[in-house]
Amino acid sequence: MKSEISNAKVADILIQALPYIRKYNGRIVVVKYGGNAMESPVIQEQVMKDIVLMTAIGIKVVVVHGGGLDIADALKKMGIETRFINGKRVTDTETMDVVQGVLAGKVNKNLVKMLHAAGGRAVGICGIDGPTLVAQPMAQEMGEVGHITYVNTKLITDLLADGYIPVISSVASDGKERSFNVNADTAAASIAGALKAEAMVAMTNIDGVMRDPNDRASLIHKISVDEAASLQEQGVIEGGMIPKVECCIDAISAGVKKVFIINGTMPHSILVEFLTDEGSGTMFIP
């Protein structure tokens, strides 16, 4: 009897997923992966398996990642002091060398290796390659922190056409000799907009937008751009949620049809969001 119930549940899940598989088949989905969602090696491995499953059912996944924890660890080991202005890391030339090495090297290639181990085909690049992400200095006092001015999608679309999962680290260039550290959320939104992606998902360590941060039941499952702006004015969206929500709004404004904020520390949250009726986080719509 136990086996029959189990089989029925499995069948129900698969049937429920079918319309979503049809909906996203052949479409581009940008996954922003970073921050605390990358802390647990076990969850990280599960996320990579979920992404490989998504590609196996015909979804064209592009992964954009940061790696602030790894950067902080590397800078600490090298005795380089870290300074922040408005939550952004001030990046001098010495720090930029570390950022580029950690993001485009260690973090990027580890994600590629995990995708390969899960049975996927991935290629790791950074915004300098192509160049894919072109940027200019954000502000003089921020040093080598960049503001993205242009996204060249050719390298990304070529990789997707050949069946690869592009894994992109959030390092940009001015198209010449200068490298920039760019915010991974901003990079993902810019790339998703340039690709006119069907959807973008920001994997973080929070469940989504909540009317009461202390009440999981107050999670808002669907929200429009105007409603999000209103909640920000009311102070419901505040602190560290503001830049995340603004990136979601930017992606929608750039032509992405739907944007999700989900808790990447929860097992299989990305599959639950994309392939079930319930979802797991907050969906932003125009």
DSSP E strand stretches across 127-256: 133-137, 146-151, 165-169, 171-173, 179-181, 199-204, 222-224
Query: Is the pTM above the cut of 0.85?
Result: yes
Angle formed by the axes of helices 68-77 and 93-101, to 10°? Answer: 120
Q: How far apart are CA 154 and CA 241, in angstroms?
A: 32
| Cβ partners under 8 Å of residue 103, min gap 6 | 65, 66, 67, 70, 71, 126, 169, 170, 171
pLDDT along the chain (286 residues), means of 10: 63 85 94 82 91 96 93 91 80 92 95 97 97 93 92 98 97 92 93 96 87 82 89 81 86 92 89 83 89
The predicted pLDDT at position 5 comes to: 58
Domains and their CATH numbers in the chain: 27-285 (3.40.1160.10)
Taking the CB of residue 58, how many other CB atoms lie within 10 A of it? 12
**CA 184/CA 160 separation, integer angstroms:** 20
pLDDT tens string 96-146: 999 999 999 999 999 999 999 999 999 999 999 999 999 999 888 898 999
Q: What is the pLDDT of residue 1?
A: 42
Residue 154: how many CB atoms within 10 A of its CB? 9
Q: What pLDDT is stored for residue 115 in this prediction?
A: 97
